[in-house]
Amino acid sequence: MNAGVGPAARTRAFRGTVFHFVGEAQSGPAERVAELHTDGLLVVRDGRIAQVGDAAKLLPSLPPGAEVVDYSGKWLVPGFIDTHVHYAQSDIIASPGEQLLTWLERYTFPAEGRFADAEHAREAADFFLAELLRNGTTTASVFPTVHKSSVDALFAAAKEQRMCIISGKLLMDRNCPEFLRDTAESGYHDSQELIERWHGRDRLHYAVTPRFAPTSSDAQLELAGKLVDEHPGVYVQSHVAENRDEVRWVAELFPWARSYLDVYDRFGLLRPNSVYAHCIHLDEQDRQRIAARDAVMSFCPTSNLFLGSGLFDYEAARRARAHVALGTDVAGGTSFSMLRTMHEAYKVMQLEGQLLSSFDAFYLATRGAAQALGLADRLGSFAPGNDADFVVLDPQATALLARRFARTETLAEQLFAFMMLGDDRAVAATYILGEAAHVRDGVTSSRARRQYA
């Protein structure tokens, strides 16, 4: 073994306030399942969490020569997980004046048409991943476009960044412009080819991705279900019950279905590791069905407010015991920041007379999302053996956040200050597998240097 790559050289420790969830929020008061080390140490070996605990206890036991990165005064939390976002829509974020269906026609489809160009797709993928990292997001479930090359571009960029990304070619064979249309058969074969190329490679996961029921024929949805049956372990992602006009349209297109959700269920697309964005206009039976199938509701508050779609009923989802996680849904959503997303989720719930605690919000964006996606054995918490993807949050990031933080008295208030006043400015650094992938005030890693060159 070469000098300098022995066990000590592979160990790095990060000192700061360490906060994460060690159990499930539903199992009891969130306070009981969270772990806080005010002067803590996160010990990383070979990109994995080796130990977590109080600095005073762990520092003396580090191997000689282990590097200690001092983030005293800052917080170390697991990397955020965005369970629903569109990488091909960065260019049209903040496009005003429309609700879902006209917004798709007017802004989204033309923007996605540009992804037929592989070079454009690669440039957009690099921009998108940099934006995730700048916001502390280390894992995401991502919609590209209908083009195979858009998936290749995203996965290639994610592989370079060593990020855990879930994605898959959009399936859309009707009710969309010709330039974005595939066929049931071409969608099936292209997805198959992409699954073989990317699924399970490094930290990449394939998702069979019918855009939403209106843009897929019965034949295409049938083949989508077949794809999932033929490739155990792939994800499914789509949209459901976002907008009232959309729900009415689905009822016309699929008159045999009990509900919008029922369309997906009939084709075998409602299952574990299937992520459905929005889930607003559902009834109790739908919610029970999502829970029974072990599927995931992605709550996308900034999008739901921006597009005037409606208010996600978090309490009803919880009562049904369905998995819930958060999504930014850029570019229906207006921010890549999961802190901003928690903030808007809080406000949506206020409008419904519900309360989102800061514990719940952080849980949804970290361990809750990992659990929902079946990745909790690798992500979402600092359990030893997990991948060392984490965010460094800075309570001094802005004058206002610092001022509020100085007057907080409890952990709940501190977390609440981050989520209500924080955004990308509060992310001092983002680490992927124990290496800096984004540093707010400077650039340290070769990977990050390449990206910002």
Reading the block at residue 310, the tokens are 């409606």
Q: Which of residues 308-367 bind ligand GUN (CB under 6 A)?
A: 329, 332
Q: Are 115 and 425 in contact (CB under 8 A)?
A: no
> What span, in angstroms and rounded, lies between the C-alpha atoms of 98 and 95?
8
Q: In the complex with ligand GUN, which residue's Cβ is closer, 242 or 389?
A: 242
Name the strands in the sheet holding 11-21, side by side, starting at the edge strand that comes first in the sequence.
48-54, 34-45, 11-21, 67-78, 390-393, 427-432, 435-439
Site for Zn ion contains 82 (CB under 5 A) = no
Where does this chain touch ligand GUN (CB under 6 A) — which range of 13-21, 72-80, 100-108, 279-287? 100-108
CB of 255 to ligand GUN, least distance (A): 20
Helix axes 218-230, 184-198, angle to 10 degrees: 20
CB of 89 to ligand GUN, least distance (A): 7
Site for ligand GUN contains 303 (CB under 6 A) = yes
Binding residues for ligand GUN, total number by CB under 6 A: 11
Closest CA to 303 of 94, 128, 144: 94
Give me the helices (H) in 237-357, please.
244-253, 260-266, 284-292, 301-306, 314-319, 338-351
Closest CA to 82 of 137, 159, 124: 137
Binding residues for Zn ion, total number by CB under 5 A: 2
Token pair 């091909």 is at which residue? 88
Q: Are 362 and 345 in contact (CB under 8 A)?
A: no
428: left (phi over 0), alpha (psi -120 to 50) or beta: alpha
Site for ligand GUN contains 152 (CB under 6 A) = no
Half-sphere exposure of 240 (CA within 13 A, CB side): 26
Segment holding 414, helix H or strand E? helix 411-421
CB of 13 to Zn ion, least distance (A): 39
Q: Are 223 and 187 in contact (CB under 8 A)?
A: yes
Contacting ligand GUN (CB under 6 A), which of 115, 212, 264, 299? 212
Q: In the complex with Zn ion, which residue's Cβ is closer, 304 or 386?
A: 304
CB of 148 to ligand GUN, least distance (A): 18
Contacting ligand GUN (CB under 6 A), which of 11, 17, 108, 273? 108
Contacting ligand GUN (CB under 6 A), which of 239, 287, 340, 367? 239
CB of 109 to ligand GUN, least distance (A): 9
Q: In the complex with Zn ion, which residue's Cβ is closer, 91 or 160?
A: 91
> What span, in angstroms and rounded, lies between the C-alpha atoms of 237 and 250?
17
Segment holding 130, helix H or strand E? helix 118-134
Q: In the complex with ligand GUN, which residue's Cβ is closer, 212 or 418?
A: 212
Contacting Zn ion (CB under 5 A), which of 82, 112, 262, 329? 329
User: Residue 78 binds what, of ligand GUN, Zn ion, none (CB under 5 to 8 Å, by partner type)?
Assistant: none
Contacting ligand GUN (CB under 6 A), which of 131, 190, 242, 389? 242
CB of 103 to Zn ion, least distance (A): 11
Burial class (CB in 10 A: 0-12, 13-18, 19+), 188: buried
CB of 438 to Zn ion, least distance (A): 24
Q: In the complex with Zn ion, which residue's Cβ is closer, 143 or 390?
A: 143
User: Residue 336 binds what, of Zn ion, ligand GUN, none (CB under 5 to 8 Å, by partner type)?
Assistant: none
> What span, in angstroms and rounded, lies between the C-alpha atoms of 117 and 12?
41
User: Residue 211 binds what, of Zn ion, ligand GUN, none (CB under 5 to 8 Å, by partner type)?
Assistant: ligand GUN
Q: In the complex with ligand GUN, which residue's Cβ is closer, 12 or 239?
A: 239
Site for Zn ion contains 246 (CB under 5 A) = no
CB of 332 to ligand GUN, least distance (A): 3
Q: Which residues bind ligand GUN (CB under 6 A)?
A: 86, 100, 104, 108, 211-212, 239, 242, 303, 329, 332
